[in-house]
Copies of this chain bind each other. A is one copy, B any other.
Amino acid sequence: MADSVPKSTRQTLDRLYDDPEDRLKSLFGLTPDDTEIEATRTVFKALSNEYRIRILEALRDGELCACEIQVVLDAPQSTVASHLRELKDAGLVNTRRQGKWTYYRIGDTAVLQLLDIADALAEETA
């Protein structure tokens, strides 16, 4: 681990701290493992699109079929379908097939918590 640290960084730490080696160790301790970060990123990425946020908001009150979501979004069928797929892949929604129709619903209320917190955060920032 110590070998991968560039000289410039060591020099910076040398100037800043009494015990740069200790500081280096504690800094590296701040990094969680890659797979966990990647999984978290997947969730946020799925949430970082206007259409997909609209879909989740529409699903607050309960399930809707794809054709209804199309009405809410007022967008081409293929566009809506691809966003629905992304939400499903990210595990944020579940589906239920009934005849020709596919019904979508929020997979976990934690999704709504995320939306609420982000909304509040955005509002106070603005």
Contacts and interface: CB of A to CB of B under 8 A. Distances in A.
A37 B9 contact: no
A74 interface: yes
Interface string A1-13: 0001100010011
Given A27-B72, A67-B16, A114-B118, A32 B44 contact: no
Given A28-B72, A48-B44, A125-B90, A37 B13 contact: no
Interface string A93-126: 0000000000000011011011101111111111
A57 B34 CA distance: 12
Nearest to A124: B108
Given A41-B49, A49-B41, A50-B38, A31 B110 contact: no
A122 B40 contact: yes
A27 B60 CA distance: 12
Nearest to A107: B125
Contact of A12 (B67, B119, B122, B125): B67
Interface of A: 4-5, 9, 12-13, 16, 23-24, 27-28, 30-32, 36-45, 47-50, 53-54, 57-58, 60-61, 65, 67-68, 70-72, 74, 90-92, 107-108, 110-111, 113-115, 117-126
